[in-house]
C-alpha cells in the first residue's frame, strides 16, 4: 500500500471513573485485548480515565466496558 493509499483511522474516546484500588486490574484487562484501546489517566485526583480507540472498535469497547461496569464500579463521566 502506497503512502497515498493508507487508510486514515478515526479515533474516539470515552471518559470513565473507577475507584483507585481497581484501576491496575482494569488496565490489565484492557491491555490484554491487543490493539483494542489505550487507557490514559485524565484526572488523577478524581480517578478519571480516558479510553482511546479506533472508531470501528466502538461497539466492542462499549460492550467490554458494560460487561465490567459492575465489577469495577465504572461510572461514565460527561
Alpha-carbon distance of 46 to 48, in angstroms, equals 5
Query: What pLDDT is recorded for position 9?
Result: 77
pTM: 0.84
Task: Specify whether the CB–CB gap between 77 and 13 falls below 8 A.
Answer: no
Helix (H, G, I), strand (E, B) or coil at 40: strand
List pLDDT tens digits, range 1-37: 555 567 777 999 999 999 999 999 999 999 999 999 9
Query: What pLDDT is recorded for position 3?
Result: 58
CATH number of 10-76: 3.30.70.100
Amino acid at each position: 500500500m502506497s503512502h497515498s493509499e493508507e487508510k486514515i483511522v478515526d479515533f474516539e474516546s470515552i471518559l470513565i471513573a473507577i475507584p483507585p484500588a481497581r484501576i491496575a486490574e482494569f488496565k490489565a484487562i484492557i491491555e490484554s485485548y491487543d490493539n483494542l484501546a489505550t487507557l490514559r489517566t485524565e484526572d488523577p485526583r478524581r480517578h478519571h480515565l480516558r479510553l482511546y480507540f479506533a472508531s470501528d472498535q466502538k461497539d466492542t469497547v462499549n460492550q467490554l466496558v458494560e460487561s465490567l461496569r459492575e465489577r469495577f464500579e465504572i461510572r461514565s463521566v460527561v
